[in-house]
Structure 1
Amino acid sequence: MTARIAVIGCGWWSTYAHLPALAERSDAQIAAVADTDPERLAAAAKAFGVPAAFTDTARMLDEVEPDGVVIAVPHAAHHPVARLALEHGAHVLLEKPMTIEPAHARELVALARDRGAELLIDYPWHYNPHVLALRDTIANGTIGPVEHVSVLYASTVRELYRGDPEPYRQVFGYTVNAPDSRTYSDPALAGGGQGQTQVTHAAALLLWLTGLRPRGIAAFRADFELDVDLADSIAIRFDGGAIGTMSSTGAVLPVHEEIARLEIFGRDGHVLLDVNAGTAAVHHGEGLTELPRLPAVERNPEHAPVHNLVDLALGRGRNGSPAEIGLGAVQFVAAMYRSARESTIVDPTRL
């Protein structure tokens, strides 16, 4: 049996990660590609040998009737395109952030449930072996109830927010298509900067790892010379009494390693996770358990979400990055922006 997967959006990440991941699978066929830009579309279709290429997404879905769809379009288009794909009965892997508006994310969760379709959000860290192991460790009570969390995510994206992807060509590897200059820099398309592009990763990982539910967010943002936020600093209050902080910046220079660290403290111990370094440790009542250092390819398993989509389309496995977590991340980021704008504490569950 072969899963017929269509890809909507043929920009940088789609041609760097999603299409190559599909090409790895002998049990998957790239049934079609779609993009509103004819040049970008033609380049992707040629690079991956896809004969069915469309500039009209609705027509593609009508004619191809794919089993699954990968959606990698600008943030502002996530909701309408995902809704269309779900209405056509396809399983969907949707790029992060799931949507910009929480109401749109809730609508997609409900629609997927009603149609019996799997809706995954593209969060590769959820497939990191350390994350999966620590998630079980926290869930089984090894460190007791979580009381405090600290998260830092520092990444290399400042020039994308400036609208200039060229300085990152060597680092990011624009193998087929480079990012459009507006994708990350135009607030109308991106919905924001570091919050929509990177805090969404950190928030989703925190929610997935701990099962915590944020109930109060107080945030500051700093745009500096940009039209979108470069740095965000957030204090968080959770159901059950836990508190924590999250900070994120896109200012890491391309010659340096990005940083993604989580520290989670419970009543009976704590866990430390350094995603980019590939290290993790559990500090508990009986001492210290260090997990084996991960090879680089397993730290940010970029192809894993696509493989998960293919498996689900073939009736195998479980959703490793469910839409409910995507909704939680959308609410988190929306609360962060509102708090920074209004100088108040915001409950994300009310958005």
Structure 2
Amino acid sequence: MRSERSSPSGSKESTSQDVADVAVIGAGWWSQGWHIPQLSRNTRANLVGIVDSASQPRSNLNPHLESLEALARKYDTAVFSSVSDLLANTPTLDGVIVATPHSTHYNIGKEIYDANRNREKPIHILMEKPMTTNIEEAYQLHQLVASRPEVSFLINHSANYRSQTKAAHQAVPQLGSLRHGSIFMASALSWIFEDPSNTGWNVPGPDMLGNGFAWGQSSHVLAWVFYVCPQLSPIEVYCRMTHSAATGADVALSGTIICRDCHSDNEVILSVAGTSLLPGNEHSDPPVGKQIQFKLYGEDGAIIYCGDTRDENTGNLELRRVSMDGVVELPVGPGFAFENLETEHDGPESLQAFLDACVGKSTHVGADSLVGLKTVQVLDAMYRSHASGQSEPVRHADAE
């Protein structure tokens, strides 16, 4: 299925060379609530297509999703039933946002990279998390990204694109040799993981040992750690999980991740825990924010980053250095900011970074394919460890 759109000429205030032609692949809950309306309001983007295999997208998280036909009228854009149809009919395409079920990410990413071989200008990608739920596909996608450096590949871990996370990344060298991290997140998402109808969030797909909070939420905190501490390479994982009686989804976990610091060759122990059992609803009005407690310790200092994601007054990014006698320093001033879940305006920092790439500007990549790969490696090992009851080595594909 394909529908035509009228010309967007004159609909944006920016000059033409500053405007990117962008399509959204997947028209579900997150796309209709965030990506599509934000792109439509952004003066740096022309929404040139929406792709979904279903003419009437459905989601238990929003039972009132609009049909592709209605979206085409509402946003004056073309709609397509497949990525191949989009590619064949949108020669000006600068970038795509991939917001489809996790298990489809690799095939869509590969199709875009295959198409880039025959194009003068690349199609850049902003992909929803997790990058994949299959370790082999994660390696293969990472290799595709590495083979085409002119194509920007960003994963939409929105916390990684915010000023506090950038500052934490820049401050890590001041900690000296990193030795330990304590990483915890609680989210008010029982309404997702306890509902049997939410099969995409709770039922394991092909090659998955489980599904739930780990894939759906812990991917965020792992991506934060591996961006802030790029020198860490995960090597071994021990993890235990508890599960919903209603859905079988994992709703809480606690794990130990042994990493190698490529700078010092030391082992670094990460304690990672989290749960979806925080009372309330993260997407209600008013929303209940995630509870974040991130702490990194090195031989010369520490970083403390704790707060409520819906209340910036609940915490700060703190740097404490041995050389300063542990005095609390605030590298970016007061305030706590983790994910950007704002539905209004023209999109979060991750979307702005993606649009920069689409128009040829240098951009901040807060979560690249290597961050995505390390995240999938750890999650894969977490599920294997829970199943075996033992520590499990991080898996490495033959093609690594």
Normalised by the length of structure 2, the TM-score is: 0.78
Determine the structure 2 residue equivalent to 1:11: 28
Deviations, residues 217-272 of structure 1 (Å, cap 9, x unaligned): 10001113122211111011111222120001111122643212201111112110
1:99 to 132, 154, 169: 132
1:269 to 274, 282, 301: 301
Whether the 8 Å contact between 1:33 and 1:52 is mirrored in structure 2 is yes
Whether the 8 Å contact between 2:72 and 2:79 is mirrored in structure 1 is no
2:54 to 37, 46, 49: 37
2:318 to 278, 281, 284: 281
**One-letter identity of the residue aligned with 2:351:** V
* Alignment map for 1:182-261 (pairs within 5 Å): 182-188=199-205, 192-211=211-230, 212-225=232-245, 226-239=247-260, 240-254=266-280, 256-261=288-293
Bigger radius of gyration: 2
Determine the structure 2 residue equivalent to 1:167: none
**One-letter identity of the residue aligned with 1:208:** Y
The separation in 2 between residues aligned to 1:231 and 1:99, in whole angstroms, is: 21
| 1:156 paired to 2:188 | yes
**One-letter identity of the residue aligned with 2:135:** P
Moved over 3 A (4+): none
**One-letter identity of the residue aligned with 1:151:** I
State the aligned residue count.
332
The separation in 2 between residues aligned to 1:185 and 1:56, in whole angstroms, is: 26
The separation in 1 between residues aligned to 2:315 and 2:37, in whole angstroms, is: 23
Shift of 1:332: 0.9
| 1:56 paired to 2:82 | yes
1:71 to 82, 91, 98: 98
State the secondary structure of the residue aligned to 1:96: coil
Deviations, residues 153-185 of structure 1 (Å, cap 9, x unaligned): 111222212337xxxxxxxxxxxxxxx833212
Shift of 1:278: 4.6
1:56/1:271 CA distance change after superposition, 3 Å: same
Normalised by the length of structure 1, the TM-score is: 0.88
Q: More deviation in 300-309 or 36-45?
A: 36-45
State the secondary structure of the residue aligned to 1:69: strand
The separation in 1 between residues aligned to 2:259 and 2:379, in whole angstroms, is: 15
Determine the structure 2 residue equivalent to 1:306: 351
Whether the 8 Å contact between 1:213 and 1:238 is mirrored in structure 2 is yes
The separation in 2 between residues aligned to 1:16 and 1:293, in whole angstroms, is: 30
Whether the 8 Å contact between 1:10 and 1:44 is mirrored in structure 2 is no
The separation in 2 between residues aligned to 1:316 and 1:29, in whole angstroms, is: 17
Determine the structure 1 residue equivalent to 2:45: 28
State the secondary structure of the residue aligned to 1:350: coil
1:153/1:114 CA distance change after superposition, 3 Å: same
Shift of 1:100: 0.6
The separation in 2 between residues aligned to 1:76 and 1:48, in whole angstroms, is: 29
Query: Percent of counterpart pairs with the same letter?
Result: 23
1:68/1:101 CA distance change after superposition, 3 Å: same
| 1:294 paired to 2:335 | yes
The separation in 1 between residues aligned to 2:228 and 2:386, in whole angstroms, is: 26
Whether the 8 Å contact between 1:109 and 1:119 is mirrored in structure 2 is no
1:38/1:196 CA distance change after superposition, 3 Å: same
